[in-house]
Structure 1
């Protein structure tokens, strides 16, 4: 009996100790959950604080941009006013420039007309030379360069070697040239003497310059005898400095020894013609 009582007492003690242990475990579990929730909440709070800082920084940047945009807008508005003034002035200047260009184009057109008139006369002259006068010889060339007529005559038709005395057979050719010049009283004829590059001196003539000029003046005197107005004639010597070909061979040197008759409108008359056109233009 005594043993039975003792066993019952121990059982009661054991049963009474089990109740508080369950409550403790439950409390501990609840505490753990609370701590987890607190940690989670703390993390979320930190994220929110970070987002707020970023948002504040972005807002500050946007405010600065807005401030800059307002300044830019004010500057553009002011610039627009200035541009309006500049555009008006630019339009006026452009109009003046266009008027100036029109006037210049008209002047150029007038000058081109004047040059065309001169070229027409030149073409008529070369046609006259080739058809009417009948100069037809392989040692005589007629051509037009830059609106000027050139009659190039080989020296073997005009002079003996090293001489500036005109030969008798040259007078037939010069007679035809004289007719051309005399038929064009408003033209001038420049007689150019050309030599080869070999040095020349005979005591009277110092060098090729002397020889080329002497040959030019000799031709001029013959043309005067043939009735050409002296006021139409110009003497010129070019020595050896305007060769047609190199002077390496005897054949080439013969080509370079020549006399050129340059038939051209009188320079003063040509400029008078241009001046007249310019006066007509300014009077419009």
Structure 2
């Protein structure tokens, strides 16, 4: 990255500075500046700022058209093809009340991160988030009848689809999926694939609870990503982000898509190494 480039990062118009600082891209920008590039943080679409690359970083499950329209004016744009990452759009494990499946299921908010970004930014979808969160909160049931450890109260696990309360089947703000975990040696696992352009990493997390997250992991290890991640990236139009998946009885299953990743739960040296490595992926978009 010897030639100086201008990189513009586009956030939602209502994003606060603390929202920017809590995102990985904010810290990647420090590496880009250290490499001699110019970085401009933009909020909203009211003005066009010429740049070599626009990084679309709108923290909503459904990106408003005006942000993608602005992105189309740039010579190169990151994630300009990503419109909608709601689980109802990306999941291949959805279950309806009329399906024959009666194995374990998991209930989630349709919106990413429980709809918290929509609520925080005050978008029209915030009302749907509040309704979904309220329903899931009142129905305090989960795997084996207890609450899920680790603070992931927006998820609910049921041993059988027939145990899901009728109001959840009818609520358009939630999705119900087959629960197909990756289990080895009595522990649950999650694979986390993070990437920017031609740079990527993949870790496998292990936990003793069914909902595996970085916050409740017992340990993690670097692994090779499954080849299907390239297909997922292409289908979703993702240049940057994070894919959470498992390998259930030999079959890779996509669980979650994140295009605006937040700061990670890593030790300081590992965090610095990973950010530096991912930051180098910006070179994939220089034309």
Instruction: State the TM-score, normalized to the length of structure 1.
Output: 0.23
Who wins on radius of gyration, i.e. which is larger?
Answer: 1
Structure having the higher helix fraction is: 1
